[in-house]
Amino acid sequence: MSALFTPSRLGSLELPNRIVVSPMCQYCADDGRANSWHLAHLGGLAQSGAGMLVVEATAVEPAGRITPGCLGLWDDETEAALRPVVSLVRENSNMVLAMQIAHAGRKASSAVPWKGGAFLPSGEGGWTTYGPSAIPQKPGETAPVALDVDGLSRIKRQFVETARRADRLGFDALELHAAHGYLLHQFLSPISNQRTDDYGGSLQNRMRYVLEVYDAVREMFPAHKPVGVKISATDWVDGGWDIDQSVALARALQSRGVAWITASSGGISPAQKITVGPGYQVPFAERIKAETGATTMAVGLITEPAQAEEIVASGKADFVAIARGMLYDPRWAWHAAAELGGVVSAAPQYWRAPPHGYAHLFGDIVHGAR
């Protein structure tokens, strides 16, 4: 039997396979509100055959958006806008549905990628940004406001409030975004965090805010619903956050019952030097899993079914999370199942889709028609 298509558990959740649709920003929300694009996009991915679908990074407050088009869940309006999206997925799919919740910190107030992605000053549609220290992402940009104790408490409360709304909407799981140079990652990295209080300096101090936010979300979110964390395992910059510190963070999270750790990398500085290749981030997930026992998700240029199969079968990671590959091929899991001899779920409207020789791709079902 294919390892990739072996059922597994995340906390109390039963996943039919080890494929996860990674959260992918769409940059097209209306002041944080989901719209018809999200209905079409997530409705389609709900038929991907993956075991779990994770909704894109969702800001916990307006200032926490990466761009003006980023999705949010911070008030009744943003919650109401997401409700029909969740209902659509639920009515047409039985897959596990998760949400990634996030705050962009100093990387907020940026143009959407197809308009260059540059920092937006306040007079050009941007807003005040926040970070652990008053250090901009790039030289020449407006520095973020260094968060004081009240600011830290406010944002932590917003994470909890967003988690409460996600539970009310019926999401099965949450992932805290502590990667890619966004706020929680900014506290971890000595490149962006140069505080001299209890939240800066030593490794334990730099991990403090991430762990506080995790604890607060975990305490509020129902115990039977798992909470995972996405991290950047290394900054790819000398003197920055690295894999050794990531292992220490993973141990601290594991002791708190974290459901999974997604091991990505980079994003804290334009000075990063990354050697990119197929599966280039898999060793991070492998080491974290080996040294801490945490359930891990591998990401990063995982494009071929045989590649994903080897990652899971060899024990390098428990799951593979596919992002751009799913945008390019929303039926990636179908094609992987066909190649590896697996079975996936699909709506009955699609049961006649498999080509000759793959009649049992969707299991023991009837394909007949008059």
Tell me which residues are annotated as active site.
182
Three-state DSSP string of the chain = CCCCCCCEEECCEEECCCEEECCCCCCCCECCECCHHHHHHHHHHCCCCCCEEEEEEEECCHHHCCCCCCCECCCHHHHHHHHHHHHHHHHHCCCEEEEEEECCHHHCCECCHHHCCCECCHHHCCCCCEECCCCCCCCCCCCCEECCHHHHHHHHHHHHHHHHHHHHHCCCEEEEEECCCCHHHHHHCCCCCCCCCCCCCCHHHHHHHHHHHHHHHHHHCCCCCCEEEEEECCCCCCCCCCHHHHHHHHHHHHHCCCCCEEEECCCCCCCCCCCCCCCCCHHHHHHHHHHHCCCEEECCCCCCHHHHHHHHHCCCCCEEEECHHHHHCCCHHHHHHHHHCCCCCCCHHHCCCCCCCCCCCCCCCCCCCC
